[in-house]
Structure 1
Amino acid sequence: MQKIKRNRAFLKWAGGKYSLLDKIIPSLPKAELLIEPFFGAGSVSLNAEFNQYQLNDINTDLVSLYNIVQQQPIAFTEALAPMFVASTNLSEFYYQKRAEFNNTTDPFRRAVLFVYLNRHGYNGLCRYNSKGGFNVPFGRYVKPKLPSQEILQFAKRFKNASFTNLNYKESMLQAPEETVIYCDPPYIPISKTASFTQYAANGFTIEDQRELGDLASKLVKEKKLTIVISNHDTALTREFYKDAKIKSFSAKRFISQNASTRKPVKELLAIFDSNN
């Protein structure tokens, strides 16, 4: 198997795909354009070789951050550096900056604070309360890393990419012919305590999961496309992706907070191909 060059995302991200690149990348056929309707931290596009990228996410803060990094990478890393010293890695400082983030409307400052909170907050979570306030607690890391090189690499790779803040359906419906779409939606929970659907202020429901599978089936019948979807391997996902080719595997991701009960989980890739 061809060795995959691995570029790391500059954000920590719950459910990130860095550890699964050897499963995902070979499942993406060659094409001019890759569309990601659920871009997240971007590990897949950072490592997949396409000439064009349309990168979408429903999280407004995330898309604003990426547009700023794309346009002003050096100024952004210089502004971020003072946030990664010993005096900023304290809970009191963290909660002050979290409050500032939730009150500021300045896009550049908000982007700097977003990265600070992401690298210092608990477990790489991106979570908002019902009023849209970021509410991830302090992470208590020994020495959070300033991801300056990763930010510059991100800006270089996606210099000409398009970042959009749309509903995933809008992003997919705009896809031209001969396109690959990779979808990494919030996963269907496999236990009552494993739901990460409050990624943005609005959740991603079971009905949304069903509609994603239906839309993928519809689009590959209407256009010459390939759509690849990641999710947990469950009876529901197999039902929702019944028109797709399924690749199942064990993932090194753990869902339990109790270390004594952590187990690897089964995931799948659903490949919808108009040539099938």
Structure 2
Amino acid sequence: MSHHKRAFLKWAGGKYRLTPEINKHLPPQPAQGACFVEPFVGAGSVFLNTDYDRYLLADINPDLINLFNIVKQDVEHYIQQARALFLATDANSEAFYYARRQEFNQSEDQFRRAVLFLYLNRFGFNGLCRYNQKREYNVPFGAYKTHYFPEQELRFFAQKAQKAQFICADFEEVFQLLEQQPDNYIVYCDPPYAPLQQESNFTNYAGGGFSLAQQTLLAEYAKQAQANKIPVLISNHDTAFTRKIYKGAKIKKIKVQRSISQKGDTRIKVDELFALFA
């Protein structure tokens, strides 16, 4: 797109670079307009770089959905409070970061948690969003030399969010909702990717893995949606497993540059695919 918009969050596995390609493979909108649905919205890069009248955006992470709804409701107040945290004298120090992480894990104030979430996201390691079994945020300090406060990105997100409904739900709930409330839906799914190799299965984005059984179930929901005249586009790694579960879809293979080491400094080209059920 001519004005490629960045999300205000860093996000492992985010689709910022792929949004032009995703737009090419989305089915055309119906004449009377469509509601664009993302069961795995993540940081929202696809949402920000598409143009629909309405959006239904879901994620299983309650902190993420809470943040989006707060930014949607009053972005100026949010910017004021979040900027103050970024400008704190020792903001870019381990001691300050871990104190804020502890505050986040102990706080029940939804606005404060939303402010802290952005700070932790920007100052934590490599755009990760990870929790332990106690649902405590446990991403380590990032130790970056410089930081950027995403003020303009926040404002653009808030403006576009006026057309969106954000809900905390898993993909099963989202697809069931689509069946219960018929509309002109177009669905894009960006699940945690199936592993290229079983031993490198890093999918713990929200306090739990995304299993091969869940990958298969998502494909079944996509096929059922297709039968109900709801087109579904799914991104994933291109493997024998994904080819099998997406059998019957229109598949487009692409090569994408991806980090493969924990340091994020080793990048290779890997095969990904778009599977369109339409």
| Corresponding position of 1:67 | 69
Matched, 1:166 2:169: yes
Which digits, 9 at most, give the CA deviation of each residue in 1:1-35, with x for residues without a partner?
Answer: xx443110000000000111121011112332100
**Are the counterparts in 2 of residues 172 and 181 from structure 1 also a CA contact under 8 Å?**
no
Q: Distance in 2 between matches of 1:79 and 1:127?
A: 24
Q: What do residues 205-248 of structure 1 show as CA deviations (whole Å, max 9, x unaligned)?
A: 11000000011111211x11110001111111111111211011
1:92 corresponds to 2:98: no
Q: Are 2:258 and 1:253 equivalent residues in the alignment?
A: yes
Correspondence for 1:180: 186
- Residue 15 in 1 paired to residue 13 in 2? yes
Candidates 113, 117, 127, aligned match of 1:114: 117
Report the Cα distance in structure 2 between the residues aligned to 1:140 and 1:259, rounded to whole angstroms: 14
Structure 2 residue ranges without an equivalent (≥5): none
The structure-2 alpha-carbon separation of the partners of 1:260 and 1:68, relative to structure 1 and needing over 3 Å to count, comes to closer
In the alignment, which of 45, 49, 69 is matched to residue 47 of structure 1?
A: 49
**Separation in 2, partners of 1:61, 1:228:** 26
Distance in 1 (alpha carbons) for counterparts of 2:53 and 2:135: 35
1:217 paired residue number: 223
TM-score (norm 1): 0.94
Question: Distance between the aligned counterparts of 2:265 and 2:231, measured in 1?
Answer: 40
5+ long unaligned stretches in structure 1:
none
Q: What is the aligned counterpart of 1:229 among 234, 248, 269?
A: 234
> What amino acid is aligned across from residue 20 of structure 2 in structure 1?
D
CA distance in 1, matches of 2:251, 2:243: 8
Q: Which amino acid aligns with 1:161?
A: A
CA RMSD of aligned residues (A): 1.5
Give runs of ≥4 in structure 1 deviating > 6 Å: none
> Which of 26, 36, 39 is residue 37 of structure 1 equivalent to?
39
Whether the aligned pair in 1 keeps the contact of 2:53 and 2:163 (CA below 8 Å) is no
What is the identity, as a one-letter code, of the residue corresponding to 1:214?
E
> 1:132: Cα distance to partner?
0.7
In 1, the alpha carbon distance for the partners of 2:18 and 2:73 equals: 29
Deviations 1:169-227 (A, max 9, x none): 11122223431100000001113553332111232111000000011111211x11110
Q: Residues 135-150 of structure 1 correspond to what in structure 2 (within 5 A)?
A: 135-150=138-153
Report the Cα offset of residue 259 of structure 1. Answer: 7.2
Among candidates 17, 25, 28, match of residue 27 of structure 1 = 25
Q: Is the 8 A contact 1:120 1:141 kept in 2?
A: yes
- CA shift in 2, pair 1:258/1:91, >3 Å: closer
Which range is displaced more, 176-185 or 62-71? 176-185
Instruction: Quote the sequence identity (%).
Output: 46
Aligned amino acid, residue 242 of structure 2? T
Aligned match of 1:123: 126
